[in-house]
Homo-oligomer: A and B are copies of this chain.
Amino acid sequence: MKSYREELWMEVPARRGLVNITEKVEAALKESGVREGLALVNAMHITASVFINDDERGLHEDYEAWLEKLAPHEPVAGYRHNRTGEDNADAHMKRQIMGREVVVAVTGGKLDFGPWEQIFYGEFDGRRRKRVLIKIVGE
């Protein structure tokens, strides 16, 4: 069994933003030499997500509005977590809706994707450096 590990460093300049990391995962897969197996891609921070969806700007704006509706940032004092001095409790909620990780099949040395699947890093408490982990196992 082969095993490959890589970290991606992310730095989203705003509090929230989505970054397409598909090409970086593809590059890691190529580097790994794995032809058949599984690729795990996960946020290493608990106020961020890795998820698969469409690379369409309107949809990303819809996600922003929708997540703010389901788990609003304001009022900051409405969350007990923020009494610790943080202001990111909403980010911990948003990350649960969007998910921590994706597991992608590797077939013939490629990410085994449907026609529109793209991998995104979802940042909900940005303006600092954070990491994504790629772990690929197989042979």
Contacts and interface: CB of A to CB of B under 8 A. Distances in A.
Contacts of A89: 58-59, 62
Chain A contact residues, majority secondary structure: mixed
Given A80-B62, A81-B62, A96-B97, A38 B137 contact: yes
B97 A81 contact: no
A68 interface: no
A98 B3 CA distance: 29
8 contacts: A38-B40, A46-B52, A58-B80, A58-B82, A63-B96, A96-B99, A99-B100, A101-B103
Given A58-B82, A63-B93, A103-B103, 7 more contacts: A40-B105, A42-B104, A42-B105, A44-B115, A56-B81, A97-B97, A114-B131
